[in-house]
Amino acid sequence: MAVMNEASRPVAQEPSRAPVSLLVDCDTGIDDALALVYLCSQPHVELAAVTATPGNVGVDQVARNTLAVLELCGRGDVPVAVGARAPLRVPLVTSPETHGPQGIGHAELPPPRRAPEPRDAVGLWVELARARPGELTALLTAPLTNFALALRAEPRLPELLAGVVIMGGAYNHQGNTTPTAEWNTHVDPHAAAEVFAAYAGQPPGRLPVVCALEVTERIEMRPEHVAALAEAARCAGPELVLPDQAEGTRSRASSPLVRHVSDMLRFYFEFHRRYDQGYIAHVHDYFAASVAAGTARYAARAAAVHVETEARRLVGTTVADFRGLWGEPPSARIVSENHPEEAFAELVSAVGALARRLG
Ligand code: RIB
Ligand code: CA
């Protein structure tokens, strides 16, 4: 029997509105879009750049969705760049059944007026991190391909970044892509393995804060949250997204932002129902964005993380050693406690206010 070391203890984090500058990498899909909308609603959050990784949809569609969502929120100023076009080693698998063929559910966003930056996302990450040492927090809500490539290009990233928040993995929790693997780590398991290896042994305050399925599936959006959002936006009438309505029914909300968010989420509700999870939507990336923005209350525990890349049935599976049984230093701080009702109160209030500002 291995020596049972003392398990790492949860460290609590209280909410804050202190200024935050983010580098975001996403695979804009529905919950990535909601995360971006939320971040645009936060005056204390600077979006230094948003970069695209293939995942939910192909990378060009990710970039188009990201540009369109930012413009919808009045943020056509934020640079968007494309990086990797496929995972490091395995073929790209996308998930049109989860996020829709275009990745944003039933929403039909106005085509973006801008194109992505001509420069590569990875070079942009490295340049900004070197130019602003200690200032930028990384938020990763996609497979970790671009982040792994950035760490290869600049191994000092853990020292140069102010912090890292990752949506990814499932620790002692059922996977959502295979019985044991979560989508982001399954799409690019080698990138995830490289990222955690790069952070192993870093000082605790620099370790990535990891929002995994055991806590992100608690952020379960329901139709009443969409109704509350429309009310907070002072829409002309109630926003009813109901399970007995025809699939694909389009919103007629008076606020364009609420209308498009409602059309995205309806698709997500229909997907979760189709897979016996109820007429709900796990908005994983919104929770990770609230952690990165500093507005979430949570607790996290240090652990050494392993990402399986070889065993065929277990590829992408993440395992956390909270007790030091492997004799390896921690490589992550895994969120172990969050507060869904607070998260939704924050989302409705913040995005409702943004919708009012946008008109
Ligand atoms: O497993 C959930 C994650 O996979 C989220 O980031 C979602 O957008 C998908 O990318
Ligand atoms: Ca995502």
Q: Reply yes or no on whether the pLDDT at 148 is more than 60.
A: yes
Structure tokens at 131: 């130019």
* % of residues, the chain, pLDDT over 70: 99
Structure tokens at 27: 């695979």
The conformation of residue 37, written as its DSSP 8-state character, comes to: H
Average pLDDT score over residue span 156-177: 97
CATH superfamily of 6-358: Ribonucleoside hydrolase-like (3.90.245.10)
- From 27, 290, 291, the mutation candidate for ligand 1 (largest count of ligand atoms within 8 A of CB) is 27
User: Which residues contact residue 43 at a Cβ distance below 8 angstroms, ignoring those fewer than 6 apart?
Assistant: none
pLDDT band at 23 (very low <50, low <70, confident <90, very high): very high
Q: Reply yes or no on whether the pLDDT at 251 is more than 90.
A: yes
Residues touching ligand 1 (Cβ under 6 Å) are 27, 29, 31-32, 55-56, 141-142, 167, 176, 182-184, 284-285
User: Helices 189-199 and 145-153 sit at what angle, rounded to 10 degrees?
Assistant: 50
Residues, CB within 5 angstroms of ligand 2 (ion): 27, 32, 141-142, 285
Give residue 5's pLDDT: 67
Q: Reply yes or no on whether the pLDDT at 230 is more than 60.
A: yes
Give residue 208's pLDDT: 98
- Name the residue with the closest Cα to ligand 1, atom 1: 183
User: Which atom of ligand 1 approaches the CA of 285 most closely?
Assistant: 6
Average pLDDT score over residue span 307-327: 97
Distance 285 CA to ligand 1 centre (A): 7
pLDDT tens profile 264-313? 999 999 999 999 999 999 999 999 999 999 999 999 999 999 999 999 99
Distance 31 CA to ligand 2 centre (A): 6
Residue-averaged pLDDT of the chain: 97
pLDDT band at 7 (very low <50, low <70, confident <90, very high): confident
Average pLDDT score over residue span 345-356: 98
User: Which atom of ligand 1 approaches the CA of 177 most closely?
Assistant: 1
pLDDT tens profile 33-45? 999 999 999 999 9
pLDDT tens profile 29-78? 999 999 999 999 999 999 999 999 999 999 999 999 999 999 999 999 99
Total count of residues recorded for the chain = 359
Distance 62 CA to ligand 2 centre (A): 10
What's the alpha-carbon Rg for the chain, to the nearest Å?
19
- Name the residue with the closest Cα to ligand 1, atom 6: 141
Give residue 2's pLDDT: 47
pLDDT tens profile 183-222? 999 999 999 999 999 999 999 999 999 999 999 999 999 9
Structure tokens at 205: 């305050």
User: Which atom of ligand 1 approaches the CA of 29 most closely?
Assistant: 8
Higher pLDDT, 353 or 172: 353
pTM equals 0.97
The number of the ligand nearest the C-alpha atom of 31 reads: 1
Give residue 358's pLDDT: 97
Structure tokens at 120: 């590569």
Domain residue spans of the chain: 6-358
Say how many C-beta atoms besides its own lie within 10 A of residue 326's C-beta.
Answer: 11
User: Which residues contact residue 181 at a Cβ distance below 8 angstroms, ignoring those fewer than 6 apart?
Assistant: 170, 175, 189, 308, 314, 315, 316, 317, 318
Q: Reply yes or no on whether the pLDDT at 6 is more than 90.
A: no
